[in-house]
């Protein structure tokens, strides 16, 4: 997806689920980045925050940094962005490490890249600038990008609301479970809960399911059928997929 910088679409467009993640190169706190090419074969949570040295953003960065290794268990890397400059980013991240305690986490070092975007070019390309909210700050956007560089989920929060990190981790678990097993996950699903099997594609399959002839499948009606997948099976399948991707 390439959008001319001078067009009005560059201000308001946002990549949708199923679109290729817009490419960019930029300076970051971890060195230059070529996105999403540098993350081929990995999942990425690419997120924006309104500004450095702001309290809600600071709490979020402590949480992201504290959970980075947990996300990596799901082959997921983190990339942040704000419209501040690189030196501001560096000073803010040093302040977080030296002074900030949140949810029992202190002396937290942010090891994932924080992208410099003082021109707001990248933020506009991803639809992170919403003039009705603020014309000079990126809202709290989250883009989940899969190992093929495709946008798989998009979440937006207003400036006043910090993100829910349990939900971001659950989302990664859900997406990867759906890919690994060809299923969907119901409301409030967690690893180990029953999953939704694809809806029957014919009257014959529906009748067999309702008669209990399809192994391990439990149906409340022909269109609402579940099966059990243990948390251990989910973990093993995801790790196998990651190992296969790493070896390819």
List Cβ<8 Å contacts ≥24 apart for 4-12.
Answer: 5/121, 10/124, 10/125, 11/124, 11/129, 12/127
Q: What amino acid positions are annotated as catalytic residues?
A: 57
Between 8-17, 24-33, 91-100, the lowest mean confidence (pLDDT) is in 8-17
Tell me: do 125 and 206 sit in the same domain: no
Write out the binding residues for substrate: 140
CA dihedral 24, 26, 30, 31 (to 10 degrees): 120
- Same domain flag for 86 and 198: no
Q: How far apart are CA 229 and CA 156, in angstroms?
A: 30
- Mean pLDDT computed over 67-96: 96
Give the pLDDT confidence of 207-230 residue by residue, as tens digits.
Answer: 877 777 777 888 888 889 999 999
Q: 25 and 141 share a domain?
A: yes
Structural domain that includes position 183: 174-247
Q: Answer with the one of 135, 163, 191 that is the final residue of a domain.
A: 163
Where among 112, 143, 163 does a domain terminate?
Answer: 163
* Chain segment 121-144, per-residue pLDDT in tens: 999 999 998 877 767 688 899 999
As annotated, the binding site includes: 140
- Element (DSSP H or E) covering residue 68: helix 55-72
pLDDT at 27 over 80: yes
Say how far apart CA 195 and CA 178 lie, in whole Å: 9
What is the domain count for the chain?
2
User: What pLDDT shows up at residue 94?
Assistant: 97
pTM of the model: 0.88
């Amino acid at each position: 997806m390439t959008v001319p910088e001078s067009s009005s679409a560059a201000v308001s467009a946002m990549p949708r689920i199923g679109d290729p993640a817009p490419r960019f190169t930029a300076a970051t706190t971890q060195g230059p980045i070529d996105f999403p090419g540098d993350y081929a074969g990995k999942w990425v949570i690419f997120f924006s925050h309104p500004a450095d040295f702001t309290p809600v953003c600071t709490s979020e960065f402590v949480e992201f940094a504290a959970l980075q290794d947990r996300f990596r268990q799901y082959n997921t890397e983190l990339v942040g962005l704000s419209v501040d400059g690189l030196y501001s980013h560096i000073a803010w991240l040093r302040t977080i490490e030296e002074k900030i305690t949140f949810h029992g986490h202190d002396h937290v070092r942010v090891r994932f890249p924080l992208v410099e975007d003082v021109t707001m070019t990248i933020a506009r390309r991803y639809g992170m600038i919403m003039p009705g909210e603020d014309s000079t700050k990126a809202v709290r956007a989250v883009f989940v990008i899969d190992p093929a560089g495709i946008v798989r989920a998009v979440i937006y929060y207003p400036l006043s609301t910090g993100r829910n990190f349990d939900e971001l981790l659950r989302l990664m678990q859900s997406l990867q479970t759906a890919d690994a097993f060809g299923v969907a996950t119901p409301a409030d699903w967690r690893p180990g809960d029953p999953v939704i099997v694809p809806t029957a594609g014919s009257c014959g399959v529906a009748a067999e399911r309702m008669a209990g002839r399809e192994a391990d499948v439990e149906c409340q009606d022909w269109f609402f059928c579940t099966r059990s997948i243990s948390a251990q099976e989910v973990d093993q399948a995801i790790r196998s997929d990651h190992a296969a991707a790493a070896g390819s």
